Amino acid sequence: MPSPLLETISRHWGYDSFRPLQQEAMTAALEGRDSIVVMPTGGGKSLCYQVPALLKDHPTIVVSPLISLMKDQVDALIACGVKAAQWNSSQSSLEQRAIERELTEGKLKLLFVSPERLAMPSFRELLRRAGAHTFAIDEAHCISHWGHDFRPEYRQLKALREEFPDASLHAYTATATAQVRRDIAEQLALRDPLRLVGEFDRPNLTYRVLPRQDEWKQVVEVLERHKGEAGIIYCTRRRDVDDLAAKLQRAGYDATGYHAGMTQDERRKAQEKFSTEKTDIVVATVAFGMGIDRSNVRFILHTAMPKSIEHYQQETGRAGRDGLEAECVLLYSGADVVFWKTMIERPNEDGSAPDPEFVASSIRHIVDIDRYCSGTACRHRALVEYFGQKYERDSCSACDICLGETEDVPDALTVAQKILSCVYRVQQSFGIGHIISILRGEKTERIRERNHESLSTYGLLKGSSRNEVRDWIWQLINQGYLEQSDGEYPVLRLTPSSRLVLKAETEVRLRQPIAASKKKERARRMQPVESWESVDRGLFEALRIWRRAEAEERQVPPYVIFSDRTLREIARVRPTSLMELREVYGVGDSKLEAFGKALLKVVNG
């Protein structure tokens, strides 16, 4: 006999089992025990508060940071036969009165609100009248100063404990270190909370960190691997978003841009186009993503290093939410580190110095993500261990390191000695670009003016490209064998560790993409391992077309109807009856009733 929780999941969502830690998290919510739940994106975190809400006799209040995120969650719940609503400032007074009436009459199981709305005394009085006893705080890392996305309005949630002393509080997030988890518990004044931390690893994601050498070519290579599939391209600056989006459009790609400098209406339209699958490529700053619940994103491409591992984990976590394969590519340069440090240390708008504690914390985050990018350990292992967990596998078989897509630079010590010697010969007075020109034996006017063609280091790396030498220099900087001065015209300088290299008293390891002779093997490896076995691809595409039409008619995103995972399963088993269709992953009672006959018509086409 299935438990009430599992029976509820099956009836409304069409799943026949719990994911890791879901049962424990749901039981805590059902029994009214405070909890902190950390699950990776795609791990079924939302169900942890949605399912218990259906078994309670009072409403569950869900705190969510974005209106668009609330809307998508409410649409998805209604499609599953769950009575849910959101309360936001865009609604008319008539709509809000209708929600208030349903809330106080006990008809609503879940109500989604913003932290700002919850801070209003009149609204909290309404919740008291409605008998609210359960609060679920989504994106709970936003409450912590130590988190990667701190939002001051989340700090106001500490008032919930005082004003609703008998209520249970539940914090949910996908990314939180031990320090952030402690801060969440303290800020919300949680009472003996159950602490559940899921596996941070996302085995369906393939991670690649590549030296940023020819950005446009590298972007196109990723897009060509994912023709007809959805993806997000992250850029650091707004102008980079505008430039890349325009270039992609000129090249024939259906891409749209998104950043905070656009008008609210422009951002809404861009987000809506992506959510409704009217476009598959979004070029964006980090302003994009938190409100996106599209489950079939097949690639995430960062054109530069993010400012923390937490940001990277959250942004790459938007790929493969349906559990199917996806690729995450990061184009990296040591120059990204300089950029982020400059951004963090610049004065505030009023001219005051930035908060020292904020600067110190931010620098630590930059050092951590830089170490990840320049490291030579398995990417999955590095991410998992950053969040304090052990990675038991010897090889993930799903990152550039474990797939053998990078290799050691032959005789790296000699290469390093040539670079350091060049910096020494020019008396530590020139920047990266000029050092590269000398080492490659270039005949530039600047070299001739300074008679640098007579240096003993001139042309020592003439067989290497500028991009290769630049990447080696940044690796030496990251390993502490070189440093770059601050200022408008940064120059390269030796460090105390440089002497060990020049005297061959230490080992140096430099990495590079695999040699051109191995390109065919690399191309083969770059193809993601896909779960298409026995799937009728023609039927899958027909089902996608049907899903898009149904979504447009109901004015909801396509993934609210069914996920790609469910459509693939239907195209694999080709059900011939409603009973067989009900056995498919993701087909619950409400969706069977709403779409069953139409689906069978497509299958039997």
**Structure confidence by residue, pLDDT tens digits, 343-352:** 888 888 787 8
Q: Give the pLDDT of residue 2.
A: 62
pLDDT band for 356, please (50, 70, 90 cuts).
Answer: confident
Domain presence at residue 252: yes
CA–CA distance, 201 with 428 (Å, rounded to integer): 43
User: Which residues, 6+ apart, have CB-to-CB distance to 593 below 8 Å?
Assistant: none
How far, in whole angstroms, is CA 24 from its chain's centroid?
25
Domain co-membership, 399 together with 421? no
Sign of the alpha-carbon dihedral angle for 297, 303, 307, 308: positive
Domain co-membership, 401 together with 465? no
Whether residue 13 is predicted with pLDDT greater than 80 in this model: the reply is: yes
CA–CA distance, 210 with 373 (Å, rounded to integer): 9
Domain co-membership, 178 together with 108? yes
Domain at 10, CATH number: 3.40.50.300
Over residues 24-30, the mean pLDDT reads 94
Domain co-membership, 216 together with 191? no
Domain co-membership, 418 together with 507? yes
| Secondary structure in 3-state letters for 406-429 | EEECCCHHHHHHHHHHHHHHCCCC
326, 204 contact by CB (below 8 A): yes
Over residues 51-72, the mean pLDDT reads 87
| Among candidate residues 197, 217, 250, the one where a domain is terminated | 197
Domain co-membership, 300 together with 216? yes
| Among candidate residues 142, 166, 197, the one where a domain is terminated | 197
586, 13 contact by CB (below 8 A): yes
Domain co-membership, 416 together with 391? no
Range of lowest pLDDT (234-238, 349-353, 493-497)? 349-353
Q: Give the pLDDT of residue 518.
A: 57
pLDDT tens for each residue of 87-105 = 988 888 899 999 999 999 9
Residue 271, domain extent: 205-405
Residue 525 or 312, more confident: 312
Q: For residue 233, which of 288, 286, 282 has the smallest C-alpha distance?
A: 282
Q: Reading across the β-sheet that carries 326-332, which strands appear in turn? A: 205-211, 326-332, 297-302, 230-234, 281-284, 255-258
Domain presence at residue 478: yes
pLDDT tens for each residue of 112-132 = 998 889 888 999 999 999 999
CA atoms within a 13 Å half-sphere pointing along the CA-CB vector of 309: 22
Whether residue 139 is predicted with pLDDT greater than 80 in this model: the reply is: yes
Domain co-membership, 255 together with 339? yes
Domain at 597, CATH number: 1.10.150.80
Residue type, 333: S
Domain presence at residue 138: yes
- Burial of 163-181, coded b for 16+ CB within 10 Å and e otherwise, reads ebeebbbbbbbbbbbeebb
Could you give the C-alpha distances from 548 to 254, 362, 486, 540, in angstroms and in order?
A: 17, 42, 53, 12
CA–CA distance, 121 with 281 (Å, rounded to integer): 42
Domain at 455, CATH number: 1.10.10.10
pLDDT tens for each residue of 514-568 = 765 555 555 444 444 456 788 898 999 999 999 999 988 988 888 889 988 899 9
pLDDT band for 427, please (50, 70, 90 cuts).
Answer: very high
Domain co-membership, 153 together with 21? yes
- Burial category of 534 from C-beta neighbours within 10 Å (exposed 0-12, middle 13-18, buried 19 and up): exposed
71, 86 contact by CB (below 8 A): yes
Range of lowest pLDDT (81-85, 186-190, 344-348, 563-567)? 344-348
Whether residue 36 is predicted with pLDDT greater than 60 in this model: the reply is: yes
Q: What is the DSSP string of 248-269?
A: HHHTT--EEEE-TTS-HHHHHH
Q: Give the pLDDT of residue 291.
A: 56
Domain co-membership, 369 together with 353? yes
236: DSSP letter: S
Q: Give the pLDDT of residue 231.
A: 95
Give percent above pLDDT 90 in the chain.
50
Whether residue 167 is predicted with pLDDT greater than 80 in this model: the reply is: yes
Whether residue 133 is predicted with pLDDT greater than 50 in this model: the reply is: yes
Helices 589-604 and 67-79 sit at what angle, rounded to 10 degrees? 80
Domain co-membership, 316 together with 351? yes
**How many structural domains comprise the chain?**
4
Domain co-membership, 395 together with 413? no
| Among candidate residues 197, 222, 242, the one where a domain is terminated | 197
- Burial of 453-473, coded b for 16+ CB within 10 Å and e otherwise, reads eebebbebbeebebebbbbbb
CA 64-552-559 angle, 5° bins: 50
